Amino acid sequence: MCKYGDKCYRKNKQHLSQFKHQKRKGDEGSEEKPAKKAKKQKSEVGDAESSSNEEKVEEKSEDVVEEPEELEEPDKSEETEDVDESDSPPTPSDVREEIKVKFKVGMPEDFYEFWEFCQSLDKKNPTAALHALGLELVGPFDILAGKFKNHKGKKPCYVLHWRYFYDPPEFMTVVKGDDKSQYHLGYYRDDPKEMPAFVAANSAAENCNIKAMGENLFAAVKIHLDKVLKETKNQTKKGEIKKLDDNLTKWAKKSKFSLEPKTKSMKNRDKKVVTKTFHGAGIVVPVVNDVGYRPLPETDASLKKILKKIVDSTTDDERTKNFDDLQEIITLVQFANDECDYGEGYELGIDLFCNGSAYFHSAIDNLLPLAYTLLGRDEYAEIITKHLKQRKKTNLSQLV
């Protein structure tokens, strides 16, 4: 008998041929028999939720993650699925609205103020104004620069424009650094309908870590500038950087943007973080009367070991067997979703994404879009779906 009982949703032929199953939910004439309950029992939470939420959970709870039917080594090349760009809408006349429509999120005031600052440094080519720091403005800045107006290539997928390998939907790249480490800066926001919580940095060629760099672009670039200045030995270049530092500091002070690496609003956001996740920036979900989030049944260390065993498996049979522990966690996520603790599936999906292996893309594609939808973050559900189809390590610009 399959150890998951009537809660097993696997459909691959190998599993079905090896194990017997009780009649499962949806089988004709079957009666629902509760499988082993999740470790954290909760009372009937659904009564406290609106009927629309209940319907949404019921509808989405059938979208269960299956083990991949084919467990061959994923293709390591840069060939990816085409992304349907029927979402390339007509261009609004207002540039702020254009960016919001194309990138799915609105931009904060410091974004537009920083563009004016860079124009003051290099009127002809503002995106290259920070060349002394090894930085270039990208992403939605390319809209302000008019780079898409004369684009002759295929229709761009704006939400993937400079979206690095480890950038979750919450992270939006706006400044790129060197190509070797793939260092880049971007806005990090918990909800697409809100303004960013802070500006973050990641070096995608090295790891998935997301580091907070102040609450606005001026602060983030100032932190990077100080580091570059300290490492620079050439006196001529050092003088150029000091001049840039002086201009940036004056502009930020005039516009009343904090240059502090950690502000009060960032500290307040830290209090709302329910778990750090593998990337370290943490996730925020609404929790009311202890409903909204429950921790995964594994520590970060033990979950990483489970995922490593799957990735390092040498045969399909071994990998299928090693998926069992992950499938058990996914089963508990289904219970959590039924009881409105949407944060657990959100956490697991982000952790699988941070692992980086294509073996988990199918699971992520089931976990994260569902979690985002249940949390009312539909824009992120769309972004992660597109990213998984074109998750690349190079050629990140949509202007090619």
Q: Which residues are catalytic?
A: 339
Q: What is the largest CA-CA distance in the chain?
A: 81
Question: φ and ψ at 185, to 5 degrees?
Answer: -115, 145
Q: How far apart are the first and last CA of the chain?
A: 53
Q: 3-state class of 14 per DSSP? A: helix
Question: φ and ψ at 125, to 5 degrees?
Answer: -140, 75
For the chain, the residue count is: 400
CA dihedral sign, ordered 209, 212, 216, 222: negative
Closest by CA position to 137, among listed 146, 147, 148, 126 = 126
List the structure tokens of 49: 């939720």
Percent helix, strand and coil across the chain, each rounded to 5? 45, 5, 50
Distance from C-alpha of 167 to C-alpha of 150, rounded to nearest angstrom? 27
